[in-house]
Amino acid sequence: MAKLYFNYSSMNAGKSTVLLQAAYNYEERGMNTLLMIAAFDDRGGQGRIASRIGLAAEADIFSSGDNLFEHVREKHGKAPIDAVFVDEAQFLTEEQVWQLAKVCDELRIPVMCFGLRTDFQGKLFPGSAALLALADNLKEIKTICWCGRKATMVARLDGEGRIVEEGDQVVIGGNERYVPLCRSHWAERKLG
């Protein structure tokens, strides 16, 4: 049985690196993969998954209105797909998570999703909430706070390096905008 996987963490834990390594392992064995990333996340370039350590790969993009089951089924009909990898999975809609579950159940293709669990206010992203509810396998990818403890939260910074407590749930950015923190230092708003 193909499974739906959710690999989650705070910022800067290496989710994209793990995704790219896993996809490479499939491809090295002659298997065909489909990589996907949210359309508005263009930090590595439009339609490109890129890690902070320099790994990158081309990927199909998805937007909130896209039917991912139909997208995968169409691609699978042209060339058999052995695994689907989704980066920035927190940006999936609940409906899209159900569509990816259908990819596993009906097309028998494993789907590996990688993304954040919570936003800068400590709230679940819609895609992450659905994945936590529906995934067959959950795995936390760990990173650390400046104090050395496990980081489970993320703080958003303004242009001056101060913690932002209000605003849109989604603001694309990397190390210059987000800092992983342990729950204690996140609650204290302490950057170290």
Question: Any idea which residues carry the catalytic annotation?
Answer: 88
Whether 36 contacts 87, CB under 8 Å: yes
Q: What is the DSSP string of 164-178?
A: E-SS-S-----TTTE
Distance of alpha carbon 96 from alpha carbon 38, whole angstroms: 12
AA identity, residue 16:
S
What are the distances in angstroms from CA 188 to CA 69, 140, 150? 42, 23, 16
